[in-house]
């Protein structure tokens, strides 16, 4: 049976843990607020540029820009966005599981699959299983900037143009609410296979200075924006998941402290009762 000293030591230890989880929740809440501001500011722009692409991008334009070129699918790239740090509940396991399912499905369909990852958690997962990764980006969690997204997007576009792969999927957590994130699977390249908006008449568009120049500027920019949005969505989801996980951990710690305090009081009461019985017994022995 645990002694009073052992119970007291456990209570103090759990109190220290609760202080840490409570502080981590507050830090995550502050980071989430900043991430949400960036994400919500970008969403309308990202949605609009996707609308423009759905109106302009046509497979017949593949000679206008190489990003519009649709090739026979042989090699498919899957880019999985995870975090660098843990303590964020099922955030990483959900997105990695979805990415692995997509990889397995593509392999069953007969495609060669290459894997790239953002974040140490996904990197470590595939590294432990001996799965080769084409590209790895780490150290971006909590530090997402447009330039970092631009660097990732540029590498992906160059690889597609150089025919390193014929199709690209993004797998990431989309932010819904503080307590709910949804894993999304988005086909990013080729742009030529983007869903066409049939309600838009191309005669309504006037290209200045030229159609070629518009595509040269718009298409790379659109890929950069879509990658940036996915990274911001993932960052907001990570902080929301961590905040929820730390809140749950704090509640569990408080419940454990209450239970141990009750156990401590019962043990203390039993100890006092035993001491009183010893005193009474001793006094009765002296009378005899």
Residues annotated catalytic, as ranges: 88
* Environment class of 252 (CB within 10 Å of its CB; exposed 0-12, middle 13-18, buried 19+): middle
Cα–Cα nearest to 211, from 67, 61, 69: 61
What DSSP designation does 57 have? -
Rounded distance between C-alpha atoms, residue 20 and residue 79, angstroms: 33
Question: What is the rounded CA–CA span in Å between residue 20 and residue 186?
Answer: 37
Query: Quick check: 223 and 67 in contact, CB under 8 A?
Result: yes
143, 149, 155, 159: CA torsion to nearest 10: 130
Torsion angles phi and psi, residue 181, rounded to 5: -125, 150
Distance CA 50, CA 223 (A): 10
The CA-atom distances, in angstroms, between 36 and each of 29, 65, 89, 146, 240 are 10, 34, 19, 15, 10
CB burial of residue 43 (10 Å; 0-12, 13-18, 19+): middle
């Amino acid at each position: 049976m645990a002694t009073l000293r052992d119970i007291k030591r456990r209570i103090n230890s759990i109190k220290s843990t609760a202080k840490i989880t409570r502080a981590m929740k507050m830090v995550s809440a502050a980071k989430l607020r900043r991430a949400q501001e960036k994400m919500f500011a970008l969403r309308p722009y990202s949605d609009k540029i996707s609308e423009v692409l759905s109106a302009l991008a046509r497979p017949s334009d593949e000679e206008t820009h190489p990003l519009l070129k649709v090739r026979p699918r042989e090699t498919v790239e899957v880019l999985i966005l995870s975090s660098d740090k843990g303590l964020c509940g099922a955030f990483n396991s959900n997105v990695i599981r979805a990415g692995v399912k997509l990889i397995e499905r593509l392999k069953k369909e007969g495609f060669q699959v290459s894997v790239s990852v953002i974040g140490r958690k996904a990197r470590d997962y595939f590294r432990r299983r001996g799965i080769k990764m084409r590209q790895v980006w780490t150290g971006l969690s909590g530090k997402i900037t447009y330039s970092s997204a631009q660097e990732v997007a540029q590498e992906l576009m160059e690889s597609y143009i150089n025919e390193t792969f014929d199709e690209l999927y993004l797998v990431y957590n989309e932010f819904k609410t503080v307590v709910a994130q949804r894993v999304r699977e988005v086909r990013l390249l080729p742009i030529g296979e983007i869903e066409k908006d049939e309600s838009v008449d191309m005669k309504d568009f006037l290209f200045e200075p030229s159609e070629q120049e518009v595509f040269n500027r718009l298409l790379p920019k659109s890929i950069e924006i879509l990658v940036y949005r996915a990274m911001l969505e993932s960052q907001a989801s990570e902080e929301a998941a961590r905040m929820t996980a730390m809140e749950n951990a704090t509640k569990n710690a408080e419940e454990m402290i209450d239970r141990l305090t009750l156990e401590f009081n019962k043990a203390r009461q039993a100890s006092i009762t035993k001491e009183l019985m010893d005193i009474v017994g001793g006094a009765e022995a002296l009378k005899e």
